[in-house]
Amino acid sequence: MTTEDLVKHCRYYKGQEKCPSSADSLFWNYERIWVEYTLKAEDENTFEAQELKALLKLYKDAHLENFQEDDGVPITLKAFLLNRYEHWTDSSDGFEEWYLKKYKRE
């Protein structure tokens, strides 16, 4: 898997070194980190692989594994976004609405 393969799933990060002024910098940075983690996670013994596995478990524990499953956003990116959402809100309640309105902007 390459950076180019992964950024196809990103709405904001397209592999740039700096966030363009037209992008949402928070989501751009989350996607950038997700791409970096995913690339490093190809080696299952890395910190990043273990972190993504833990985030995915939390995502599934929140019963979100079927949420927007066909929207083109990988489940590991959604799990990463859930982690960031919970960081700011201390709960997974409301994640779906936040994801659709703030991240997907639907």
Residues 44-69 have pLDDT tens digits of: 999 999 999 999 999 999 999 999 99
Phi-psi region of 92 (alpha: psi -120 to 50; beta: other; left: phi over 0): alpha
Q: Which residues of the chain have pLDDT under 70?
A: 106
Q: How many domains does the chain have?
A: 1
Whose CA is closest to 35, among 58, 61, 54, 12? 12
Output the pLDDT for position 1: 85
CB count in 10 Å sphere of residue 74: 14
CB count within 10 Å of CB 30 equals 20
CB 17 within 8 A of CB 36: no
Specify the pLDDT at position 22: 82
Give the range of the structural domain holding residue 22, as residue numbers without chain letter: 3-103
Asked if 11 and 104 count as a contact pair (C-beta separation under 8 A), the reply is: yes
Per-residue pLDDT at 21:
87
Report pTM: 0.92
